[in-house]
Structure 1
Amino acid sequence: MRVIGMLSGTSHDAVDAALAELRCQDGEIVLRPGGLLSVPFPERLRTELADSLPPAATTLKRICRLDTRLGQFFGEVAGRAHAELARGQAELVVSHGQTCYHWVEGARAYGTLQLGGAAWIAEATGLPVVSDLRTRDITRGGQGAPLAATLDALLLPRHGRHGALNLGGIANITARDRQGGITAYDLGPAGALIDVAANWATGGAQRMDTDGLRAARGTVDRALLLRLLDEPYYRLPPPKSTGKELFHAGYLRERLRGSGPDPDDLVATVTELTACLVAAACREHALADVTVSGGGVRNPVLMERIRALSAPTRISDSTGSTVCGLPAQAKEAYLFALLGFLTVHGIPGSVPSATGAHAPALLGSITPGAGPLRLPPPVTEPPLRLRIEPVDRTGG
């Protein structure tokens, strides 16, 4: 199948759409990457979304409008991916949507809300759409996250202590133990607090610390870092999940206890916080190597601090890694293409040891496209591994 996987992450700066050619073969899934399309959010839509996220108050009217406008935007991006990447030959779209609220109290997840109506995507492309990929896992007692564990469990070598880290608005990690089992959970903030600090430092002119320039100029405030590391979430055992419902601008402001450090020092401090969280997880799971994906790999200061604090764990980004084999920026989009492929083939897409669910779940809801809904024959034996098939650059 030719599947378009789509998402907008917790940084809500762009919608990424990746084309994956997927097939089941001899107990494994083979994925052939077909390219990535990344489309920045229209400024007005991004502002409306940001103004509606926690801790801001909102209304049902605003949520309804956001669901429609996000769905229309996702539909536009899916249509472009269908035309530009798939040459009109895609068969399925899988949309994670935009997370607007993830309801967690302590160690228990009770619900999750992703906006971006799937019907708008189906109408724009004529293709069936798999969406709402997290809720079913929550109904089985899981966190609904991190779903990246599904791809990582199939892709990471089955022997040895390997890990995979994603640095988006929130950092999440997947770890393989000596017995081949999988543990995965949200570590805490990555871009979520770095973006806030960079935005403050520039009076709202910058959304992020581009190339880590402000962190490079700043000095870590050790007293503030210790206060940030005293967050109770970090002491919860996995499985666990979190989001901007906790780690937002108000959260950071409360912990500054007054005027706080100089702007660049604040950026350096929250960058160091993420590196400390990653390093602690590497030690906790005694990881030999970790492959990193997500927008955070473009921040050289963050990556340098992760490498320094996590030694002797080897840290590499997934662009050139033989462990992962997928481009760092596109990994999550390919993840959702994989999850939708599993769903339409009747294969559960969650990993209970990662999410905490009592059983694996068949994920998502399916919205028909322009024609009758025709699902492929179910796969009776769940695949044991994922193989990335290199793209033939010679035109074959």
Structure 2
Amino acid sequence: MRVLGLSSGTSHDGIDAALVDFSLPPGGDTLRARLLHHATTPYEPALRAAILAALPPHKVGLGDVCALDTRLGHAFARAATSALDAAGPAELVCSHGQTLFHAATDGTLQLGQPAWIAERTGLPVVADVRVRDVAAGGQGAPLVPVLDLMLLAGREGRWGAVNLGGIANLTVAVPDETCAYDTGPGNALIDAAALAVTGEPYDRGGALAASGTVRTELLDRLLVEPYYARNPPKSTGKELFSAAYLDGAGGYQPADLLATLTELTAATVGAELRRHRLDHVLVSGGGVRNRTLLKRLAARAPGVTFVPSDEFGLPADAKEAVLFALIGWLTWHGLPGAVPSATGANGGRLLGAVTPGAAPLRLPAPLTTLPRRLELE
């Protein structure tokens, strides 16, 4: 079954698309996945500016939210048709949309009306994938453990996976110790500072941070953030780690500020890797291109071998889109797409709502058992 996954993360820079062909041999416990195509469609500057203007702590009216939902729906529809034109047909689309607000107990909101995708592609669309887990008592995040645990199943050693997106999240794939949660900022504060002090959306390769000095008094002040001391399950977002989080840090030289914020991400992620005594970590997300961040993370987690997800056949920039293709496949086959030990939900739940395509919905007979492994070809 060919499923197109669409995602835009907390960096709000564009839409990732991944077309994946899934096959499950009868009676088998290994789901095979062939990544046929992946691409990123950057947001147009005006749309990205509208997204940023709608994020906390900004105030926004319902009319603006409605208009943004429609504009994002069109953008996701264009990204979907572009992927399908490039790589051939699909049977299903799963769209995460763009998160505008995520605070679990107060709800979670992803925009990008799926009806526009269904209308333009003629395909059924699974969307709004987080809220059912929240309704079941969960955080609605992180969702990536369903992919990580299947991908790392059966491997020797103490494996984990870290995604260095706007927010960093960790999956611990050690039998009998499995858990997953957001560790704190990944690139969110680094990017916000880079934009503020250089006008560029990120610190390319970590070059500016590499030229600066970590200001320990600022780092120590940032490390007392209560979120870090909370026990999982837990999740966070730019509701907390927004540009406003850096108010009061304007007196530092740009290079020193970037060096300190890069160290903050390395310190908070590294502490969790040590906490779980991991020795192998699959790493993905935009942060893998920040050489300074990876260098500092390695220093904060000595003895850990970092393995780029590309070595597993999963390009770092495509992982989130592949995840949502997988969630779409699971929902279509009647299987839960979230891991309760990660989100804190009362149990596994089918994720998302389905918007019909051009034809009547014809779902297959539901499967009764979640595949144990995922093999990427």
Match of 2:354 among 366, 380, 394: 366
Alignment-mate amino acid for residue 372 of structure 2 = L
2:94 corresponds to: 94
1:172 aligns with 2:169: yes
Q: Distance in 2 between matches of 1:122 and 1:92?
A: 9
SS in 2 for 1:319: helix
Counterpart of 1:326 in structure 2 is 314
For residues 181 and 110 of structure 1, the distance between their equivalents in structure 2, rounded to whole angstroms, comes to: 29
Whole-Å separation in 1 of the counterparts to 2:300 and 2:230: 22
Aligned to 2:221: 227
- For 2:109 and 2:139, the matched residues in 1 are separated by 13
C-alpha contact (below 8 Å) 1:151/1:338 kept by paired residues: yes
Specify the alignment match of 1:6 in structure 2.
Answer: 6
1:135 aligns with 2:123: no
TM-score by length of 1: 0.92
Q: Which amino acid aligns with 1:175?
A: V
Letter in 1 for 2:100: C
SS at match of 1:377: coil
Q: Is the contact between residue 200 and residue 263 of structure 1 (CA under 8 Å) also seen in structure 2?
A: no
The alpha-carbon deviation at position 180 of structure 1 amounts to: 4.0
Q: Is the 8 A contact 2:153 2:372 kept in 1?
A: no
**1:277-296 C-alpha deviation (Å, 9 max, x unpaired):** 11101110000110110111
User: Matches of residues 193-208 of structure 1 in structure 2 within 5 Å?
Assistant: 193-202=189-198, 205-208=199-202
Name 2:159's counterpart in structure 1: 162
Please state if 1:15 is matched with 2:11.
no
Correspondence for 1:293 among 252, 259, 284: 284
2:110 equivalent among 98, 114, 127: 114
AA aligned to 2:162 is: L
Q: Distance in 2 between matches of 1:240 and 1:48?
A: 28
Q: 1:23, CA displacement in angstroms?
A: 1.5
Task: Report the Cα offset of residue 176 of structure 1.
Answer: 2.1
Deviations 1:136-185 (A, max 9, x none): 111111100000011011111335310000011000000123x3442100
Consecutive unaligned residues in structure 1, runs of 5 or more: 390-396
Amino acid at match of 2:347: A
Identity %: 53
Match of 2:61 in 1: 59
1:213-270 alpha-carbon deviations (Å, 9 max, x no partner): 110111110110011110000000011000000001111114x2xx431111101100
How far the C-alpha of 1:45 sits from its partner, in A, is 0.5
Q: What amino acid maps onto 1:173 in structure 2?
A: L
**Residue 147 of structure 2 aligns with which residue?**
151
Extract unaligned runs of 5+ from structure 2: none
Residue 2 of structure 2 aligns to which amino acid in structure 1?
R
CA–CA separation in structure 2 for the residues paired with 1:325 and 1:238: 30
Superposed CA RMSD: 1.1
Name whichever of 121-130 and 156-165 sits farther off.
156-165
Is 2:242 aligned against 1:248?
yes
2:79 to 77, 90, 94: 77
Correspondence list, 1:20-39, <5 A: 20-25=20-25, 26-39=28-41
Whichever residue aligns with residue 134 of structure 1, its letter is R
Matched, 1:354 2:358: no
Q: For 2:226 and 2:270, locate their aligned partners in 1 and report how far apart those are by CA, in whole Å.
A: 18
Q: Is the 8 A contact 1:350 1:363 kept in 2?
A: yes
Post-superposition offset of 1:110: 3.6
CA displacement, residues 70-98 of structure 1 (integer Å, 9 cap, x when unaligned): 0000000001111112x2x2111100000
Contact 1:79 1:125 in 2 (8 A): yes
What is the alpha-carbon distance in structure 1 between the residues aligned to residue 94 and residue 295 of structure 2? 34
